[in-house]
Amino acid sequence: MKFSILALGSAISVHAAVLGKKATYAVVGKPEGFGTGTTGGGSAACAIPASVSELKTWLTDSVARCIVLDKEYNFKGTEGTTTATGCRPASNKCPGAGGQDAINMASWCTNGNAGAGVTSISVTYDTAGVSGINVGSNKSIIGVGSKGVIRGKGLRMANGAKNVIIQNIHITELNPQYIWGGDAITVDGSDLIWIDHCKISLIGRQMFVAGTGASNRVTISNTEFDGQTSWSATCDNHHYWAIYLTGSSDLITMKNNYIHHTSGRSPKVGGNSLVHAVNNYWYANSGHAFDNGAGGKVVAEGNVFQNVVTPLLANSGSFFGSPSTSANAVCSTNLGHVCQLNAFGSSGALGGTDTAFLTNFNGKSVATASAASSNIASLAGVGKI
């Protein structure tokens, strides 16, 4: 199948001066969609933290900052390890051969969520990975080329933290062998968050999660969600717990993202979330992409589903899957454009013809849409700008 070339949206640029001049760094471009207006650290001077300790201090303080990562910041071992009683959940059909056992976070192993026939086992995990760094308001966090890596710990914007930009950063290796091993990026009770040109890989639980608190306006763009793993809840080297959008009154734009080698919850939508999924590329999903629960409201347009077994698992909320050229004209009134057709290659059907909820987009900042394109795979992620 051939797809048209999709123009790259907002991008980050890190400029290095030449002829012996000092390098300068800056966030370039602006977010589209619901995250419009996010400015991060604004005009704050950019600086490079010398250590993981200094990085954590700068991220958590109340000072507006532009934080530049030009190397790997490895949090593994910085908080020691924990040995505790966890479990082998019912989902682990291949113990010792690529399955995921579980940490007993929030009594998950003992409250019935792990399924029938659960076996208690001892688990040892890196303590830093299970809790994210609580990022303060007004921060820009940008990487240099493909060098900016945070290993072993995630980022968390919560409890009123707002106006944060995360660009060109690779977050990886949060106890990937364990369910509940850690979340890469969490937004919970926040506002104005822009995640752009990042890469997320080898995560124990969610790659991105919007918690139950209202997260208001969020844009995730040009980001690679890499589900390739040696430890899989579905025993097939595909990550299951990928993107979880079940917050309260959340507005989420997903544009130009590359979501690959996952097996489910890519994303799971519910709560009271309004999601605009536009011009993304799903590839090699062995289970389902969307799972739209009660309260979830989704417009999916201009996306590519290549080798995705089930693009939409269930829809107990509201879902418009841009089913035909004639039907897509309905988007004009509230989204400001005719919705674009989705494209499918060796994939199941998407479905979704609900339209009454489209009025929820009226008056909001809505991302533009282009024709579906597989070229997203070569444009999303770190070091691609």
- CATH code reported for the domain at 33-75+131-379: 2.160.20.10
CA 118/CA 155 separation, integer angstroms = 31
**Whether 265 is catalytic:** yes
pLDDT digits (tens, 9 = 90+) for 34-88: 999 999 999 999 999 999 999 999 999 999 999 999 999 999 999 999 999 999 9
Query: Choosing from 65, 205, 217, 265, which is the catalytic residue?
Result: 265
Contact criterion met (CB below 8 Å) for 317 and 268: no
CA 103/CA 123 separation, integer angstroms = 7
DSSP 66: E
Counting residues of the chain whose pLDDT is more than 90, the rounded percentage is: 92
Instruction: Please give the angle made by the CA atoms of 36, 39 and 43, to the nearest 5 degrees.
Output: 155
Q: Cα torsion at 297, 370, 244, 380 (round to 10°)?
A: -170
Q: Is pLDDT above 60 for 15? A: no
- Return the closest-CA partner of residue 166 out of 188, 199, 189: 199
Q: Please state the domain extents for the chain.
A: 33-75+131-379, 81-123
pTM of the model: 0.94
pLDDT digits (tens, 9 = 90+) for 302-335: 999 999 999 999 999 999 999 999 999 999 999 9
Retrieve residue 379's tokens. 């444009």
